[in-house]
């Protein structure tokens, strides 16, 4: 366990899945490349884990995309700064809330879009956000996004959470209050 109480192997897998999801969104691919087999924490030296942790931290902080991580029950664990701005919630306020309560998605008709998380959580499949969806903040501001939900697996291959990567399609959200 590290100082955040997260298993090192889970961190490695989170980094791997973050990079896969991010690359898939950036390339516009329908499917991300197949996941590499999960590595055991005992296989990596401590210095490699420190490098992986720092790489993950920098990737999440400096990404131009919104990144949300959840636990196996789809409760929010953390948001990167872009996700905080896009969703209108600080990470601390979102933490522990069910994903579907913290992340309000709306369609072109401004009706709520409810995601079926079962394929990700139970079957370990990636899920694309529906076309034409927008994130709506508590203040009513909406930003269209495209993105993907990707399962994060532990050493045993069991889904231990989700990683949601959303690419804002309107850069005005950065200037919105």
Question: What confidence score (pLDDT) does residue 110 get?
Answer: 87
Backbone angles phi, psi at 91, to 5 degrees: -55, -40
The structural domain count of the chain equals 1
Q: Is residue 1 part of a domain?
A: no
Q: Is residue 2 part of a domain?
A: no
The model's confidence at residue 157, banded by pLDDT at 50, 70 and 90, is: confident
Q: At what angle do helices 8-27 and 46-62 cross, to 10 degrees?
A: 40
Lowest mean pLDDT among 6-15, 80-89, 109-118, 124-133: 6-15
Q: Which of 80, 127, 136, 132 is nearest to 104 (CA)?
A: 136
Q: Is residue 89 part of a domain?
A: yes
Q: Is residue 35 part of a domain?
A: yes
| CATH number (domain holding residue 26) | 3.30.450.20
Q: Which of 5, 1, 15, 4 is nearest to 153 (CA)?
A: 15
Q: Is residue 131 part of a domain?
A: yes
pTM over 0.85: no
Question: What confidence score (pLDDT) does residue 155 get?
Answer: 81
The model's confidence at residue 162, banded by pLDDT at 50, 70 and 90, is: very high
| The pLDDT of residue 118 is above 70 | yes
| The pLDDT of residue 89 is above 80 | yes
166 within 8 A of 130, measured Cβ to Cβ: no
For residue 170, the enclosing domain spans 8-174
- Mapped onto helix, strand or coil, the DSSP state of residue 4 is coil
Structure tokens at 168: 């804002």
Question: What confidence score (pLDDT) does residue 131 get?
Answer: 93
Q: Is residue 135 part of a domain?
A: yes
Question: What confidence score (pLDDT) does residue 44 get?
Answer: 54
How far is 69 from 81, CA to CA, in rounded Å? 12
Find the length of the chain.
177
């Amino acid at each position: 366990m590290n100082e955040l109480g997260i298993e090192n192997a889970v961190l490695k897998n989170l980094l791997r899945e973050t990079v896969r999801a991010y690359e898939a969104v950036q390339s516009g691919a329908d499917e991300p490349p197949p996941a590499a087999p999960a590595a055991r924490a005992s296989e990596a030296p401590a210095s490699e884990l420190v490098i992986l942790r720092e790489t993950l931290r920098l990737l999440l902080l400096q990404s131009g995309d919104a990144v949300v991580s959840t636990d196996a029950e789809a409760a929010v664990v953390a948001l990167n700064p872009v996700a905080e701005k896009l969703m209108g919630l600080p990470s601390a306020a979102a933490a522990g809330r069910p994903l579907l309560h913290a992340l309000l998605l709306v369609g072109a008709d401004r009706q709520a879009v409810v995601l079926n998380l079962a394929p990700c959580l139970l079957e370990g499949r990636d899920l694309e956000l529906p076309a034409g969806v927008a994130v709506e903040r508590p203040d009513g501001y909406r930003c269209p996004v495209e993105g993907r939900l990707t399962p994060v697996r532990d050493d045993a291959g069991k889904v231990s959470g989700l990683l949601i990567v959303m690419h804002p399609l309107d850069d005005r959200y950065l200037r919105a209050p």
